[in-house]
Amino acid sequence: MDRLLERPALRALQSSHGRQATLNAARAALEAWRTTAAASGSPFEPEAFDKTVDAALEREARAALRPVINLTGTVLHTNLGRAVMAPEAIEAVTSVMRGYSNLEFNLGRGARGDRDDHIEGLLREFTGAEAATAVNNNAAAVMLVLSALAEKKEVPVSRGELVEIGGAFRIPDIMRRAGCKLVEVGTTNRTHLRDFEEVLGPKTGMVMKVHTSNYQVQGFTAAVPPAELAALCHSRGIPFSEDLGAGTLVDLTRWGLPHEPTPAESVANGVDVVTFSGDKLLGGPQSGLIVGRKDLIARIKKCPLKRSLRLDKMTIAALEATLRLYRDPDRLSQRLPALRLLTRPHAEIKAQAMRLQPAVQQAFGNSAVVSVMDCRSQIGSGSLPVDRLESAGLSIASPTGGKRTGAFPERMAKLLRERPVPIIGRIEDGELRLDLRCLDGAETEQRFLEQLTGLMQEPAR
């Protein structure tokens, strides 16, 4: 082993990867050779050995969490990290990472401060609520609100709103975990005010409304208008909370997008506590925002769970910077990447697809037929799957034609996933489809093109 490590190729690897890592990789390669040599009697080939060690070290040196190019057509893709941050948010995060900050230090009084102070004013401004706080994600926000306001008590929820969001977020399970007793009210399709009137009593901790973000009940339906439910709760002295899920701070219809309920609307309806995500339509970092009545937010902040769910300084920095962008709604669709991607005009995406088609066709050579296609993007993150945005992109089809070329799209998808910056598309109708909605900006487009060099030559790594 010492003699092997002295070889120039391995000395070079030691200087870039360190002695220990190179030694480990060399040992593993030697072991692998011994096993195969014992079976096949193949001689030891130093060059092949060096290559194996090099490849192993390169593989290990690559970060596990790394950027990908999202061409799935889902803008807020939970598996691909949801919202892309605004440059202002990135700047704010890096500056608090580099040094100390007034995270929990009140510069005016020179005394201990509260980390929520950095975002509370902005959240109050945009929602009209009296107070605000934030935790790690919206699932945590819902859990915390339940635990703080209704532990060991009953929480009535309409049967039409007992949602599962995905990733094990199910209202009945969250209730149990928070130590609350779920009281199912009404029926799946129709719930009336009198159904709530019947169940409210001394054991009721709070009433919860859940925005059914990822499905719709259609036909013979009835739900209690939030303002009426709020009035009922208030007449009985019971807190009323609403989980909005995506919860955007602005009216999206202004940009031709489907209407999503806003926390401001909930507050105006008399909802006492509203929870929503920071990294869905809001376009910020992963976080769960809680706004509402001052006395209730104070109780929520005192709950021991709050301490274990609190935000770190990087998230607070990104969240504050993102929220600040909402001060200027006129420029929001340019400055907030999530909104910019959601509002990219079809014509612009189509022109981009036509511009890129020749380069992509060339990269695939005669292994695939690349054509410009129209398609529909999704908002993602539990927003209504029926609300689709007109988009365009490239379809990569088998040159031998036929839709039943089963393995073809998988093979192409794998090839693109194995690029230095992986490209993620979606497989549909026996083709690999690349929706270009999220390939926004010259820099992103350039990075995409760079991934195509030598596409069909290099063996899959």
Task: Tell the smallest beta-carbon distance from residue 43 to ligand PLP (Å).
Answer: 56
Distance CA 119, CA 124 (A): 9
Output 292 or 382, the one with its CB closest to ligand PLP: 382
Length of the chain: 461
| 137 contacts ligand PLP (rule: CB under 6 A) | yes
| 382 contacts ligand PLP (rule: CB under 6 A) | yes
* Residue 233 contacts residue 207 (beta carbons within 8 Å): yes
Output 22 or 248, the one with its CB closest to ligand PLP: 248
Output 195 or 243, the one with its CB closest to ligand PLP: 243
The span of 50-58, 207-215, 262-270, 369-377 binding ligand PLP (CB under 6 A) equals 207-215
Q: Which DSSP letter does residue 399 get? A: T
The span of 37-45, 243-251, 372-380, 392-400 binding ligand PLP (CB under 6 A) equals 243-251
Task: Tell the smallest beta-carbon distance from residue 138 to ligand PLP (Å).
Answer: 3
Task: Tell the smallest beta-carbon distance from residue 301 to ligand PLP (Å).
Answer: 19
The span of 137-145, 195-203, 223-231, 439-447 binding ligand PLP (CB under 6 A) equals 137-145
Sequence-distant (≥ 6) Cβ neighbours of residue 379 within 8 angstroms: 74, 75, 76, 257, 258, 281, 342, 387, 389
φ/ψ (deg, to 5) at 171: -55, -50
If phi over 0 gives left and psi between -120 and 50 gives alpha, with beta otherwise, what is residue 384?
beta
Q: Which residues pair with 396 in a beta bridge?
A: 370, 432
Query: Residue 439: which of 429, 451, 455, 453 has the closest Cα?
Result: 451
If phi over 0 gives left and psi between -120 and 50 gives alpha, with beta otherwise, what is residue 170?
beta
Task: Tell the smallest beta-carbon distance from residue 417 to ligand PLP (Å).
Answer: 25
Instruction: Please give the biggest Cα pair distance in the chain.
Output: 87
Output 75 or 349, the one with its CB closest to ligand PLP: 75
Output 78 or 444, the one with its CB closest to ligand PLP: 78
Q: Which of 243, 265, 431, 435 binds ligand PLP (CB under 6 A)?
A: 243
Strand pairing category for 388-397 and 426-428: unpaired
The binding track of 302-341 with respect to ligand PLP, each residue x by CB under 6 A or -, is ----------------------------------------
Query: Residue 68: which of 362, 458, 432, 447 has the closest Cα?
Result: 447
Distance CA 305, CA 146 (A): 11
| 284 contacts ligand PLP (rule: CB under 6 A) | no
Query: Residue 275: which of 200, 255, 283, 266 has the closest Cα?
Result: 266
Task: Tell the smallest beta-carbon distance from residue 236 to ligand PLP (Å).
Answer: 25
Q: Pick out residues in 44-103 that bind ligand PLP (CB under 6 A).
A: none
Distance CA 261, CA 244 (A): 7
Distance CA 15, CA 191 (A): 69
Output 56 or 336, the one with its CB closest to ligand PLP: 336
Amino acid letter, 422? P
Q: Which of 85, 93, 145, 165 binds ligand PLP (CB under 6 A)?
A: 165
Tell me how many residues contact ligand PLP (CB under 6 A): 15
* Residue 69 contacts residue 434 (beta carbons within 8 Å): no
Q: Which helix (H) or strand (E) holds 394?
A: strand 388-397
The helices-and-strands tally (H runs, E runs) of the chain is 19, 18
Output 52 or 269, the one with its CB closest to ligand PLP: 269
The residue number whose beta carbon is nearest to ligand PLP equals 245
Q: Which helix (H) or strand (E) holds 3?
A: helix 2-6
411: its two tokens: 């093979």
The span of 136-144, 368-376, 414-422, 440-448 binding ligand PLP (CB under 6 A) equals 136-144
Q: Which of 288, 337, 393, 425 binds ligand PLP (CB under 6 A)?
A: 288
The span of 118-126, 135-143, 250-258, 348-356 binding ligand PLP (CB under 6 A) equals 135-143
Q: Which of 75, 144, 157, 210 binds ligand PLP (CB under 6 A)?
A: 210
Note the residues at the interface with ligand PLP (CB under 6 A): 137-139, 142, 165, 169, 210-211, 213, 243, 245-246, 277, 288, 382
